[in-house]
Amino acid sequence: KNEVEQSPQNLTAQEGEFITINCSYSVGISALHWLQQHPGGGIVSLFMLSSGKKKHGRLIATINIQEKHSSLHITASHPRDSAVYICAASLSGGGADGLTFGKGTHLIIQP
Amino acid sequence: EAQVTQNPRYLITVTGKKLTVTCSQNMNHEYMSWYRQDPGLGLRQIYYSMNVEVTDKGDVPEGYKVSRKEKRNFPLILESPSPNQTSLYFCASSRTRAGGINEQFFGPGTRLTVL
């Protein structure tokens, strides 16, 4: 069974700081997903990674398959980035794609 | 507008009274899934479906049923709800790809309370 660990659980930072959230998993995966859950509860998908690095605006996601580790970075953080960030891993192998989630990182960006 | 819809958004019910939470997507996605979210436990997968008439158990399937008779709909059925099924439920859908799924689109959530 895949275990997905996120760190830190909680993070408070000042506006403008560079933010890093980490995700590690225990078995081979086909893809790693990063999700954002807004204070109102809605969930949006930020990235899906199977290798390398992806960038969208101020958000960057990286994955190291050998080390079974992924990071989500936020540059020039802003109070509107305050949310819960969740990583989820889908297992290797063809066919079915169950997802295992980390418990989330609660990020607060103070003005 | 591309979206995943869930109904109802809020439901308070009593133990043992059968209920169905509907989920529908208009993006022609092959993959659909149900999750529950609980404080301290995060999101956990209940059931998922890779396509019509194909369903698989996730991590916490006990007490739930699903069906996928049409591509757009994936209802979650609680035959005899119990208080431990009080939770926030999310439905999601995505396209499939070789070896897995693509980014998921989530519904707005259904907050269920079982008394």
Query: Using one digit for the tens of pLDDT, what is the confidence trace for A32-82?
Result: 999 999 988 899 999 999 899 999 999 999 999 999 999 999 999 999 999
Average model confidence (pLDDT) across chain B: 94
Burial of A61 (0-12, 13-18, 19+ CB in 10 A): buried
If pLDDT is split at 50, 70 and 90, which confidence band does B99 have? low
**C-alpha span between B15 and B112 (Å, rounded):** 12
Which pLDDT belongs to residue A92? 58
Interface test with B, best of A97, A100, A101 (most B CBs within 10 A): A97
Which has more confidence, B100 or A40? Answer: A40
pLDDT tens by residue, B38-90: 998 999 999 999 999 999 999 899 999 999 999 999 999 999 999 999 999 99
**Which of B103, B106, B112 should we substitute to test contact with A (largest number of A Cβ atoms within 10 Å)?**
B103
pLDDT of res. B38:
95
Distance between B42 CA and the closest CA of chain A, angstroms: 5
Task: Give DSSP secondary structure letters for A52-82.
Answer: EEEEETTEEEEEETTTTEEEEEESS--GGG-
